[in-house]
Amino acid sequence: MKRILKNKFLILLALSGVLMSSCSEDNTETIFDQTPTERVNAKVSELRELLLSQPNGYKAVYFTKNDERGGFTTFMQFNADGTVRQTSDFDDDSALANSSYEVRLGTTIELVFTTRNHITKGTDPTAVTEVINGFPTGLGFFGTSVFQYFSNDNGTITFRDNRNSETALMVLTPTNFSDFDTDSLEAVNALRGQIENISVPSGVLTPTNHVLEIKNDNGVERYQFSYNGTRRFSNAIGFSEVEIVELSFGIAYTEEGITISPALEVGGESYIDFLYDEATNSFISEVNGTSATILYDSAPAFINPNDIAELEELGPTGFLFRRSLGANPLTSGNHDALLNQVTVGVQAIIGAEWSVGGYQLITDFESDDCATVLVLELSNINGGGANVSYCFDRAVIADGNLFLNYQGPDGFEFLEPAVLPLINFLADPNGLEFTRQGSFTSDTRNFSNLSGTFRNLSEPSIRVYGLFFG
Amino acid sequence: MKKIYQKLSGIRVLLVVTVLMVTACENEPALEASQIDTSTPILNDLDNWLRGTFVSPFNIEIKYKWNINNTDVERFLHPPFERNVRPLAEILESVWIKPYNQLGGEDFIKTIAPREFIFTGGFNFNPGGNTITLGIAEQGARITLFNIDLLDFSSILYEEDIANDFDVQFAVTGPISTIHHEYGHILNQIKPYDPIFDIVNPNDYTSSWADRTNEEARELGYISAYASSQPSEDFVEMIAYMLIRSSAKWDALVDGIASAEARQSIRRKEQLIVEYYQENFNINFYELRELTYQALLEI
């Protein structure tokens, strides 16, 4: 028993020795001057003071998730009583409103918009809805109300969102306004003015192809550009003989144009800020002697050489343009103006109760016996109608374009002078450019029929979109 | 004796070690005041009103200021407009707290209640596409209410009176029904209901309840489609349906069911609920209904 006691004593003695030496060997090197709590408190104070340092607030550009959505701008005026005054360009409602905010420790130091205001529109699921299983389901912009403080670069404050850590960014820059209420509302109006600039032009004589064009030492690259205004998100598709390239980015409006995220990286250059050029109705970004331009053009971004070959394969298949099938922006205003001109001419000859409802173009590549024919569809306001035909030689494809040679009318000679503008459009000596456009769609109808466009190469602003019914 | 000596020796050794341990770190600085900020946060008028109306008397906190951790972080939800918080909180007080306290005793809600309410502004869409989460009760401690910014506080709608049942969620009857429903769960957690309830008409409970209309469910003896999901939901759906309707409106709803067997099942379940309130909480359920319904009319 004594032995056991002795052993216990020795063990306890050794243990106490270890305890003492463990304390004496503490690494006392100081990495930080302050305790973690002091450092957290200092960062909280730093951000809080930074937000309050601008009496006329900040401009916040917030991209919520730049692989699916664009961004929006909120003007924010922070107050010491925990309130923040805001307006934004997110939607039509730009009325100034107050809400609450807090700066606190969360994942890291966070700016939290604790009650609803303009900035929380980024998390409103009803901002973007999709029908899922027959039910209109809210998706929104995938945003947040909780922003992690990331950096302060001479007063420009960057925040991130840890849910969308790679795709979200909110950057605050001082507004330098002299009066927050007046100047912020004015700025929002300017920002929302860009919405019209980037939307499809509504004028009847404007070009209809939305194009992203890159100019650099390698030449000109053209991308078919599309913009979804609800999601503020863009896709640009480029085509070459070897590959199809798709570029995607979100857009936010600026007073001078647009800013995009992620940056457009082409040919070793990075394009972010685009300036609006009113004269050309385009957005231009110039970097190191190169440029990226988003523009509307009479010509499509590119022509797939296989399209015209497919037209030949279709053979004597009817192409139909009919007003009652609805509108598609691929039909240019100048084409509608041309058809109106034909209607006026027809009415002058056979009476005001007649009008041109549309036309068919049947192309045959083998026969000259009026197998290639324009069939004009006339309708009478009192009911009924008439089809009037004009014959062409066999259709010819050359240099990637379609060439039609007019022969003459198949009856109804007296209407020919009125129809000539349309005949001349089709029988352009420089040819017709054809593009395949997939299944037919308009503002009122969708059909599985193949659709396409014909554009006059002598008058490139005249283009028609229609479907093949064969 | 020897044993005692040995024990004493052991104690002495331990004492020595303890002293050594205490003194070994004597160079550490003395404790100072806490560096954690414990000062009162900024409180606005609404915060002060909520503290005075809910926190102090009932130990219930109504949280309307956004904390992403209070809701599912995978969902894209947003805080409510500040202006919609007090109207809904006043409804909680009038249609829930006061009637229960009047009949169950002034400490009834203080004793049995969720400790937190979370108010959020918008709809909580479920990813599957055909359902929306209206409210969540968590462990009897917290009730979360969604879409409070979309409420028309002057509108009282009942699903049996309108073409689209979902429109109830834009009327005050939507969240009030949710509160009565979730509070029913909390009462059940304190006092379990009689298991006889589960076997009144057990055959048609289904997890595919969302494929049923409320009318179809009633013909099977369940007051709503969701009531037909499982007995515990059936029990609290019955409570919610009764507490937002007048006696006449409730009778008209039940009497309008074509199936006599279904009517009988619902009446039997009604009886069990009345007994549950009387036996466990000494509350006359029909008096409670009269109070909650009158409070609803006075909103």
How many Cβ contacts (< 8 angstroms) between chains A and B?
113
Strands (E) across A64-203 are located at: 71-78, 83-88, 97-105, 109-113, 129-132, 135-138, 146-153, 156-160, 169-174
pLDDT at B12 over 80: no
How much of chain A exceeds pLDDT 90, in percent?
A: 70
Render pLDDT for A234-258 as a digit per residue (tens, 0 to 9). Answer: 999 987 767 888 999 999 999 999 9
Shortest distance between the Cα of A380 and any Cα of chain B, in A, equals: 44
Give B129's contacts in chain A (Cβ within 8 Å).
131-135, 137
Residue B21 at interface with chain A, using a CB cutoff of 8 Å: yes
The CATH architecture of the domain made up of A209-297 is Beta Barrel (2.40)
- Reading across the β-sheet that carries A385-392, which strands appear in turn? A396-398, A401-403, A432-441, A446-456, A463-468, A318-322, A354-362, A372-380, A385-392, A406-410
Q: Do A115 and B10 make contact, defined as CB atoms within 8 angstroms?
A: no
Distance, in Å, from the CA atom of A43 to the CA atom of B71, rounded to the nearest integer, reads 27
Residue B174 at interface with chain A, using a CB cutoff of 8 Å: no
| pLDDT at res. B1 | 41
Render pLDDT for A290-324 as a digit per residue (tens, 0 to 9). Answer: 999 999 887 888 888 788 888 888 777 789 999 99
Confidence band (pLDDT; 50, 70, 90) for A80? Answer: very high
Confidence band (pLDDT; 50, 70, 90) for A1? Answer: very low
pLDDT at A375 over 80: yes
Distance, in Å, from the CA atom of A328 to the CA atom of B27, rounded to the nearest integer, reads 83
Residue B37 at interface with chain A, using a CB cutoff of 8 Å: yes
Domains: count for chain B: 1
pLDDT at A4 over 60: no
- Range in A4-18, A165-179, B76-90 the model is least confident about: A4-18
Distance, in Å, from the CA atom of B223 to the CA atom of B208, rounded to the nearest integer, reads 16
Give A163's contacts in chain B (Cβ within 8 Å).
73
| pLDDT at res. B40 | 84
pLDDT at A272 over 70: yes
A209-297: same fold as A37-198? yes
| pLDDT at res. A150 | 96
Instruction: Please indicate, yes or no, if residue B31 is contained in any of the structural domains.
Output: no
Render pLDDT for B178-194 as a digit per residue (tens, 0 to 9). Answer: 999 999 999 998 999 99
Total count of residues recorded for chain B = 299
Topology given in CATH for the domain delimited by A37-198: Lipocalin (2.40.128)
| pLDDT at res. B33 | 79
ipTM: 0.81
Element (H, E) at A250: strand A244-253
Q: Do A41 and B65 make contact, defined as CB atoms within 8 angstroms?
A: no
Give A138's contacts in chain B (Cβ within 8 Å).
122-123, 125
Render pLDDT for B239-286 as a digit per residue (tens, 0 to 9). Answer: 999 999 999 999 999 999 999 999 999 999 999 999 999 999 999 999
| pLDDT at res. B5 | 47
How much of chain A exceeds pLDDT 70, in percent?
A: 92
Give B26's contacts in chain A (Cβ within 8 Å).
none
Q: Which chain B residue is nearest to residue A97, measuring alpha carbons? A: B81
pLDDT at B236 over 60: yes
Q: Are B245 and B256 in contact (CB under 8 A)?
A: no
Question: Which DSSP string do the residues of B53-84 spell out, in sequence order?
Answer: IIIHHH--EEE-S--GGGS-TTS---PPPGGG
Confidence band (pLDDT; 50, 70, 90) for A204? Answer: very low
Query: What pairs with residue B152 in β-bridges?
Result: B171
pLDDT at A135 over 90: no
Instruction: Please give the structure tokens belonging to residue A41.
Output: 């408190």
Total count of residues recorded for chain A = 470
Of the candidates A373, A378, A372, A318, the residue with the CA atom closest to the CA atom of residue A342: A378
Q: Are B181 and B275 in contact (CB under 8 A)?
A: no
pLDDT at A187 over 50: yes
Q: Which chain B residue is nearest to residue A116, measuring alpha carbons? A: B81
pLDDT at A388 over 60: yes
Instruction: Please give the structure tokens belonging to residue A236.
Output: 């640009």
- How does the average pLDDT of chain A come out, rounded? 90
Interface with chain A: mutation pick from B78, B85, B86, B147, highest number of A CBs within 10 Å: B78
Mean local confidence (pLDDT), A111-133: 94
Q: Are A291 and A283 in contact (CB under 8 A)?
A: no
Instruction: Please indicate, yes or no, if residue B271 is contained in any of the structural domains.
Output: yes
Instruction: Please indicate, yes or no, if residue B16 is contained in any of the structural domains.
Output: no
Mean local confidence (pLDDT), A22-26: 57
| pLDDT at res. A291 | 98
Residue A93 at interface with chain B, using a CB cutoff of 8 Å: no
Instruction: Please give the structure tokens belonging to residue A398.
Output: 């050359």
Distance, in Å, from the CA atom of A234 to the CA atom of A259, rounded to the nearest integer, reads 12
How much of chain B exceeds pLDDT 90, in percent?
A: 72
Residue A162 at interface with chain B, using a CB cutoff of 8 Å: no
Question: Which DSSP string do the residues of B147-182 spell out, in sequence order?
Answer: -GGG-BTT----GGGSS-GGGGGGBTHHHHHHHHHH
Domain boundaries, chain A: 37-198, 209-297, 305-468
Q: Which domain holds residue B52?
A: 45-297
Give B42's contacts in chain A (Cβ within 8 Å).
81-82
Distance, in Å, from the CA atom of B288 to the CA atom of A1, rounded to the nearest integer, reads 76
Residue B123 at interface with chain A, using a CB cutoff of 8 Å: yes
Instruction: Please give the structure tokens belonging to residue B1.
Output: 């004796």
Give B208's contacts in chain A (Cβ within 8 Å).
none
Instruction: Please indicate, yes or no, if residue B101 is contained in any of the structural domains.
Output: yes
Angle at A163 between CA A158 and CA A167, to 5 degrees: 60
Quick one: DSSP state of residue B298? T
pLDDT at B7 over 70: no
pLDDT at B4 over 80: no
CATH number of the domain that residue B256 is part of: 3.40.390.70
Of the candidates A300, A297, A283, A282, the residue with the CA atom closest to the CA atom of residue A237: A300
Q: Which chain B residue is nearest to residue A20, measuring alpha carbons? A: B24
Mean local confidence (pLDDT), A171-192: 97
Side-chain-facing half-sphere of A264: CA atoms under 13 Å: 32
The residue with greater pLDDT, A14 or A468, is A468
